[in-house]
A and B are shown apart, each in its own frame.
Chain A
Amino acid sequence: NAGVTQTPKFQVLKTGQSMTLQCAQDMNHEYMSWYRQDPGMGLRLIHYSVGAGITDQGEVPNGYNVSRSTTEDFPLRLLSAAPSQTSVYFCASSLDWSSLEFGTEAFFGQGTRLTVV
């Protein structure tokens, strides 16, 4: 059982380049989310999805796009990378929002460390 798998683990981009961070889960979870983690800032929510075909913005969505065509996959796209997007990105999944609301576990991937130069 792989859980939440993120690829790549490390990436260096030049300013203006685009790329997609991949996230896949094999637990049949409905709720998936993307966070970025910066020193001293904790985890900040970028986008989330409560099910296939449904996505919404989190706290820091600018410069990022998401889609959810299947239950398993939730890719995060950087449209035109900027140095301010240098961060560690985490994908997380939970059974569904209702259960997460009342405390079921959010499972995290190992993260993607992105550097934009």
Chain B
Amino acid sequence: TQLLEQSPQFLSIQEGENLTVYCNSSSVFSSLQWYRQEPGEGPVLLVTVVTGGEVKKLKRLTFQFGDARKDSSLHITAAQPGDTGLYLCAGARLAGYALNFGKGTSLLVTP
């Protein structure tokens, strides 16, 4: 059973469009992270959210942590081809000793 459900699994859009990726769980997390992975490379951290209701912005990317700390979303405004990649959410639970990953969202942005 996947602790973190990510949707959609695949997303193909044109440059300039907006998109939202969701990461949902029935469990409470002490923190939730978003990573981006390029082909042939390991994941690289984009952002961490730790407070329920927290919103963080990274240029055209907006990340939100749900009030109950069970879910998160990633919104990209005016997507660009450089945003293409695999986006992974990952959550840590208190005393869980494991960083749990969602299955990922593969994003393709075409010019």
User: Hey, which bits of chain A sit against chain B, CB under 8 A?
Assistant: 4, 33, 35, 40-45, 48, 50, 56, 58-59, 90, 92, 97, 100-106, 108-111
Contacts and interface: CB of A to CB of B under 8 A. Distances in A.
Contacts, number: 73
B103 A42 contact: yes
Contacts of B45: 105-106
Interface of B: 2, 6, 9, 30-33, 40-45, 48-50, 88, 90, 92-104
Select the residue from B32, B90, B93, B103 with max chain A CB neighbours within 10 A: B103
Contact of A103 (B41, B92, B104): B92
Nearest to A104: B48
A8 B102 CA distance: 26
Given A40-B9, A101-B30, A102-B31, A33 B40 contact: no
25 contacts: A33-B99, A40-B103, A42-B102, A42-B103, A45-B98, A50-B97, A90-B43, A100-B92, A100-B99, A101-B93, A101-B95, A102-B92, A103-B31, A103-B33, A103-B49, A104-B48, A105-B45, A105-B48, A106-B33, A106-B43, A106-B99, A108-B44, A109-B42, A110-B40, A111-B42
